[in-house]
Structure 1
Amino acid sequence: MFKKFYEKANTVFNILYGEKATIVSGIFLAMGIALHFLEITLPFDPIWLTIAISGSPILFFAIKYLVLYKKITSLVLISIGIISALAIGEIFAAAEVAWIMALGAILEDRTFAKTKTSIQKLISLVPSMARRVLDSKTEQIPAENVKHGDIIRILPGEQIPVDGKILAGSTSVNQAILTGESLPIDKAQGDEVFCGTLNLHGSVDIVCTNESKNSSLQKMVRLVEEASANNSPIQRIMDTWAVRLILIALAIAGLTFVFTGDLIRTVTVLVVFCPCAMALATPTSIMAAIGQASKHGVLVKSGHALEIMGNVNQIAFDKTGTLTTGKLTVTDIVANKNQTKEHVLQTCATAEQRSEHPLAKAVMEHYHNTSTQPLEQNGSFSMQAGLGVSYELANTRIRCGKLAYLKQNNITISAELSEQEIILRKQGKALIFVAENQECIGIVALADSIRGSARTSLATLHNLGIKTTLLTGDSKITADFIAKQIGIDTIHAELLPEEKVQKVQELQTQGNTVCMIGDGINDAPALKIADVGIAMGQAGSDISIEAADIALIGEDLNKVAYLKKLSNATVFNIKFNIAIALGINILAVLLGVFGIIGPVIGALTHNGGSILVIINAARLYDKKIG
């Protein structure tokens, strides 16, 4: 019985505290003010309707939190102020407090809603239907019904309804919705495509790897939605002070009545002392900042992380997939003095074309990107695991692989190639030695390419006074080379996941506020233990993204510096909001104690401060962070 009554009451009061009811309440308040100035008396004052519509929900929710959750909120003091104003016949002051508080709640809700605009746009771009291929026929089904392993056909100009891998066809895809990249990305068989991105040219068939509810786009939505559930340290402080201020307000109001005997002054103090502006200061600023970050492809999971980011003075980076792309590419082709680089590459590609090794695939990709010459297809291919491959033609035998593989077959390399080998190994590159018959004709070197934004990002962070550290499981030679290329401060190489955690903890014990940036499963423990964890959202594993506080959607590391600047702007905005709220409250209390203002002007002054706080916080959403 009571449960049903409570549920109905909760529904009714939520409606009364909504936007439409508040507009109606405001109309009744305006009518009451107009009748007062026109000195027209009606049997029933419409201001009472304002109190009923906007005041009753405040009282209900104050009692609800007090009784059900044992939590004293600012609504308690607002309720005391409204009841006190009514007790002395100041119905206009009571109505004014109730209505402006309801208006403030709407403005706050609008600020929160605004932060999700960019995500809602993403959702609206995802097609509701998908074209499933079944038994050589196609059928239209709701995108939400696509299952893992289903084959989906996407025509030119259509948006991709699920994450998947291309089975057949090639195309170009606009991925700006996820990565911010302005140029389309070429996609072919085996390449990944993502939900919400736009298929520009070719028709492709993809196999679904993530159902609609688990797509990369839906993960972004969930990350943003999770942000509102986490309070920052400043927010927790303000929640504590909200209770203390209620007690202070009651004490000052009691002393005012004892020393002046003036009930109006006492009520004025209660009306203006409510800490609602202070309570609004932090959440509105945090949510507006999270909204701005989401527009820039940065997904912040908690206000706490956003606030702490401003204090970060040490950033630890993983290497592969973070500072580098995680993709091997051909960086050098060294030819013996009697050979050409083109011949070395073609010979290597001829031997490696049937190999499934990652180095072989990188060589083949480079060859197809740089040469139009067809490769010999009729040779005999063999492989020796862990060493290399052999490709035998009528008059030629090609061997490609490690130096040990060539030596095993009594093939030596020239002094010139030996010198180049030493240089390339110092750069941490993987080497394929290419031999034709019994002569080593050259070397193909490969390495993980550095992200285009890595150098500029590191330079900007150093200018902000942040120290940088590389934590990687790769060899020290590779780590040293990468660090020199991008200008990182300190290096720790050949680390296991638990050793990365230890290094982060060491930095913390030295008095640093540490941010860890990574992408792989092995980075998850370090991301979790750091003061702020940032995951590379596009390349990162699900586990690393879950462990992190913030995810970068895309590959632009310059967003790390943007995050620090946004954090500084957010903390300043919060503190400025608190200063506004405190200043207005203290001034209004003093004026009320000395009888300079009454409950009506006090209500206008106090609630005006709340609206100023919300408006100032909303500015963060569109603020330019330079």
Structure 2
Amino acid sequence: MQYTIAYDNHNRLRLRCGDYVLTREKANGLTEQLLELQGVRTAQVNFRTGSILVTYTPGARQEILAWVGGLQRSQIPEVGLTAAEQADDEFRRDLEQMLAGRLLRKLIPSPIRNLMTIYRAVKYILRALDTLLRFEMDISVLDGVSIGVSIAQGHFKTASSVMFLLAVSDRLEAYTKKRTRLALSEQLSLNVDSVWLRCGADSVKVPFDRVQVGDQVIVRTGSVIPFDGTVCDEEGMVNQATMTGESEAVHKKPGDSVFAGTTVEAGTLVVEVRSLAADSRLNQIISLIDESENLKAGVQSKAEHLADAIVPYSFLGFGLVWLLSGNLTKALSVLMVDFSCAIKLSTPISVISAMREAAEYGATVKGGKYLEAFAEADAIVFDKTGTLTNASPEVSDVICFNGFERDEVLTTAACLEEHFPHSMAVAVVKKAAAEGLLHEERHAEVEYLVAHGIVTHYGGNRAIIGSEHFVFEDEGIPRTPEQTALMREKAAGGSAIFLAIGGQLAGMLVIDDPVRREAKDVIRALRSRGIHRICMLTGDAESAAARVSRELGIDKYVAQVLPEHKSEFVKKLQQEGFRVIMTGDGVNDTPALAAADVSVAMSDGSDIAREVADVTLCRDDITVLVTVREISEKLMHRISSNYRFIAGFNAALILLGVVGALPPGISALLHNGSTMLIAAKSMTRLTERQMD
């Protein structure tokens, strides 16, 4: 496929292939193909301009260009429109139809056109009466009275213009709400690829879509329950906050119902699948969010209450002007202009647009109030492993003790660690796979002790794997001075986990946990944006924590910390007056994530960490934190500037109407036009897109 390079810098590449060389379906298919290429981080294809935007890892540029250059359009699959694209098309068609209808009505004879205006006005007047009969006063009353008075005075054009602009505003609000619901559906989707199925006495890993009603699924600590079902064996504590809003985990035993999307905090459940329809779960969650004020930014809730509170004063102004001037036309100018419409529309649109922009950069924000908290935060606490250090640590060495063989140590460790999602566990499993070591399920049920390790029975012997503190202090596994010295030498400045079988030390696995390349720049950028206290918590040894802290310029760190101590650390910062962001990726970070003012989970974090977190990073790149901080600060500034503009502009319109300089129709046009403009401005980007 022919192309020209429009932009090429900072691992970001934009290619131009020509206007409309691709259909929208082909553009969607090309996007999916690009995302499957090795080294491609993000991809966007615009079917109108033929633009291909790709961000990539260093060294992947030539392969991407060669692949695009060798691509034939016939090789690109057609992928149907997404729900968001369908919503965009529907909104565009609605606007086109409304504009066409307004133009066609101008061709209709005036008497008939006036009757049509009266007919369309009925619903606004009835809506106003319904509100008044409920002894309420909101913007619908203002709309109904202004339209009714205009018609009574014979100002049919004024009434028609007001209704047209109100209809456009209603469509815009409905569109933004629909896009929000779609975004929430995507954010709250399960993202489960495979599950553990109980088959007799064994457990088998199977693809998610192969599970049938009646199958028994094993869900262990830290994992999301993938289906609605009934507990048929074992018991545990389940976090149901996503479904019911309960803050405390609920004890579940055989016979109890559980729901897709809730999370096992402790224990293991065997769940008999009752329903495969994840949609029901999503609909319940989204309805809960739609009906709740909890996820709205504080400024958004205040704006909505303020908007309704202003309405009575508009009527008071209308009455005073009519009483003092005796001129109904001047008084009507007050009703034609109100502050509430623009305030009530622009603030949620600003919040929604900011959430969508954050998502474009790779951050899923679960509600507007978390953007507000992100903007106000002045302290951040990082978990070290998988957050400040590489998200994909590697096993750099395997040390054997007491006659155990290297392959046996690595195989056993991988067999135990396979069930848990922490980055160090993933490193062990990957190392065994890379060396071709098969770790068959020869152990009994595993028990995961948060921030300590794993206990099971392996080949008839009790087997444990975990931290130094867990293995040698809690479990009392013996070690000689010579073994201790070797451990200190091999794990100096790094991390290690230890394996014991049958009461004997079997081996030590050294984990290479390098600091992320971008971490130092991120910390510097956050500090420049008002984050005054930067801290790090880790369960690793003091030497490893000190090394990372020195390298990155961390203000304070705590090593060998337990989950409850992480939570206490966050609470102590809050008691000192700080508003805290907590960033982590593991099961052991969840208490601190829940305690923080706003929490962030890494892209490859555990299921429970992603469920608890207020913000989830969708890319393995912590520079997104700086972008979210920038977006949240600019969002607060935009809302404030919108307030100032709305107050000043509408006050000027009312004043001009009262002195007779503007007729009601023009006042209504300028007011509604300004409302649409401020809404459109609120939908624009808050940050500069680094492209061409």
TM range (shorter): 0.5 to 0.7
Q: Please report how far the alpha carbon of residue 106 of structure 1 lies from its aligned counterpart in structure 2 after TM superposition.
A: 1.4
Partner of 2:616: 551
Partner of 1:237: 302
Determine whether 1:46 maps to 2:95.
no
**Residue 299 of structure 1 aligns to a residue in which SS?**
strand
Q: Please report how far the alpha carbon of residue 67 of structure 1 lies from its aligned counterpart in structure 2 after TM superposition.
A: 5.4
For residue 567 of structure 1, the aligned residue among 601, 614, 632 is: 632
Determine whether 1:461 maps to 2:526.
yes
Determine whether 1:294 maps to 2:359.
yes
Q: Please report how far the alpha carbon of residue 503 of structure 1 lies from its aligned counterpart in structure 2 after TM superposition.
A: 2.3
Q: Distance in 2 between matches of 1:589 and 1:234?
A: 26
Change (3 A) 1:577 1:50: farther
Partner of 1:511: 577
Partner of 2:379: 314
Larger mean Cα displacement after TM superposition, 529-538 or 347-356: 347-356
TM-score, normalised via structure 1 length:
0.64
Give CA deviations for 1:444-487 in whole Å, capped at 9, x if unaligned.
Answer: 73355555654443333233232311234445444333333443
Partner of 1:619: 684
CA contact (8 A) 1:32 1:47 kept: no
**Residue 396 of structure 2 aligns to a residue in which SS?**
strand
The amino acid of 1:89's aligned partner reads: G
Give CA deviations for 1:86-108 in whole Å, capped at 9, x if unaligned.
Answer: 23222221221111011122123
Q: Please report how far the alpha carbon of residue 52 of structure 1 lies from its aligned counterpart in structure 2 after TM superposition.
A: 2.9
Structure 2 unaligned regions, length at least 5: 1-90, 192-196, 200-206, 218-225, 228-271, 418-423, 438-458, 467-474, 500-506
Q: Please report how far the alpha carbon of residue 489 of structure 1 lies from its aligned counterpart in structure 2 after TM superposition.
A: 1.9
User: Equivalent residues in 2 for 1:17-28 (5 A)?
Assistant: none
Larger mean Cα displacement after TM superposition, 355-364 or 596-605: 355-364
CA contact (8 A) 1:305 1:549 kept: yes
**Residue 310 of structure 1 aligns to a residue in which SS?**
helix
Give CA deviations for 1:191-221 in whole Å, capped at 9, x if unaligned.
Answer: xxxxxxxxxxxxxxxxx99986559xx9799
Larger relative contact order, structure 1 or 2 (CA cutoff 8 Å, min sep 6): 1
For residue 584 of structure 1, the aligned residue among 604, 626, 649 is: 649
Determine whether 1:536 maps to 2:564.
no
Partner of 2:545: 479
CA contact (8 A) 2:181 2:286 kept: no
Partner of 1:348: 406
The amino acid of 2:597's aligned partner reads: D
CA contact (8 A) 2:493 2:547 kept: yes
Q: Distance in 1 between matches of 2:125 and 2:604?
A: 47
Partner of 1:470: 536
CA contact (8 A) 2:118 2:151 kept: no
CA contact (8 A) 1:115 1:288 kept: no
Q: Distance in 2 between matches of 1:571 and 1:430?
A: 44
Change (3 A) 1:523 1:444: closer
Give CA deviations for 1:141-180 in whole Å, capped at 9, x if unaligned.
Answer: 99597458699xxxxxxxxxx99xxxxxxxxxxxxxxxxx
The amino acid of 1:259's aligned partner reads: L
Q: Distance in 2 between matches of 1:349 and 1:142?
A: 31
How many pairs align? Answer: 498
Q: Please report how far the alpha carbon of residue 597 of structure 1 lies from its aligned counterpart in structure 2 after TM superposition.
A: 0.8
Q: Distance in 1 between matches of 2:387 and 2:588?
A: 13
Q: Distance in 2 between matches of 1:618 and 1:275?
A: 19
Give CA deviations for 1:354-407 in whole Å, capped at 9, x if unaligned.
Answer: 5656599967854774899xxxxxxxx99896699xxxxxxxxxxxxx998674
Q: Distance in 2 between matches of 1:76 and 1:285?
A: 25
The amino acid of 2:581's aligned partner reads: C
**Residue 427 of structure 1 aligns to a residue in which SS?**
coil
Q: Distance in 2 between matches of 1:51 and 1:145?
A: 58
CA contact (8 A) 1:144 1:213 kept: no
Partner of 1:90: 155
Change (3 A) 1:50 1:403: same
Q: Please report how far the alpha carbon of residue 590 of structure 1 lies from its aligned counterpart in structure 2 after TM superposition.
A: 0.8
Q: Distance in 2 between matches of 1:430 and 1:258?
A: 83
CA contact (8 A) 1:319 1:472 kept: yes
Q: Distance in 2 between matches of 1:71 and 1:148?
A: 52
Partner of 1:258: 323
Structure 1 unaligned regions, length at least 5: 1-17, 36-40, 127-131, 135-140, 152-161, 164-207, 336-345, 373-380, 389-401, 434-441
Partner of 2:493: 427
RMSD: 5.2
Give CA deviations for 1:217-260 in whole Å, capped at 9, x if unaligned.
Answer: x9799689947953221122212321332122222222212221
Change (3 A) 1:625 1:236: farther
The amino acid of 2:546's aligned partner reads: D
Partner of 1:339: none
Q: Distance in 2 between matches of 1:387 and 1:473?
A: 15
CA contact (8 A) 1:536 1:555 kept: yes
CA contact (8 A) 2:330 2:657 kept: yes
The amino acid of 1:269's aligned partner reads: V
The amino acid of 1:527's aligned partner reads: L
Q: Please report how far the alpha carbon of residue 595 of structure 1 lies from its aligned counterpart in structure 2 after TM superposition.
A: 0.3
CA contact (8 A) 1:471 1:492 kept: yes
CA contact (8 A) 2:634 2:686 kept: no
Partner of 2:21: none
Q: Distance in 2 between matches of 1:541 and 1:142?
A: 15
Q: Distance in 2 between matches of 1:319 and 1:19?
A: 47
Q: Distance in 2 between matches of 1:73 and 1:64?
A: 11
Larger helix proportion of the pair: 1
Q: Please report how far the alpha carbon of residue 594 of structure 1 lies from its aligned counterpart in structure 2 after TM superposition.
A: 0.3
Q: Please report how far the alpha carbon of residue 328 of structure 1 lies from its aligned counterpart in structure 2 after TM superposition.
A: 6.0
Aligned-pair identity in percent equals: 25
Change (3 A) 1:536 1:625: same
The amino acid of 2:153's aligned partner reads: I
Larger mean Cα displacement after TM superposition, 598-607 or 505-514: 505-514
Q: Please report how far the alpha carbon of residue 298 of structure 1 lies from its aligned counterpart in structure 2 after TM superposition.
A: 1.7
Q: Distance in 2 between matches of 1:553 and 1:283?
A: 24
Larger mean Cα displacement after TM superposition, 81-90 or 500-509: 500-509
**Residue 317 of structure 1 aligns to a residue in which SS?**
strand
Partner of 2:242: none
Q: Please report how far the alpha carbon of residue 517 of structure 1 lies from its aligned counterpart in structure 2 after TM superposition.
A: 1.8
**Residue 620 of structure 1 aligns to a residue in which SS?**
coil
TM-score, normalised via structure 2 length:
0.59
Q: Distance in 1 between matches of 2:686 and 2:122?
A: 32
Q: Which has the larger radius of gyration?
A: 1
Q: Distance in 2 between matches of 1:472 and 1:423?
A: 20
CA contact (8 A) 1:584 1:605 kept: no
For residue 283 of structure 1, the aligned residue among 337, 348, 353 is: 348
The amino acid of 1:263's aligned partner reads: L
Q: Please report how far the alpha carbon of residue 301 of structure 1 lies from its aligned counterpart in structure 2 after TM superposition.
A: 1.3
User: Equivalent residues in 2 for 1:522-533 (5 A)?
Assistant: 522-533=588-599
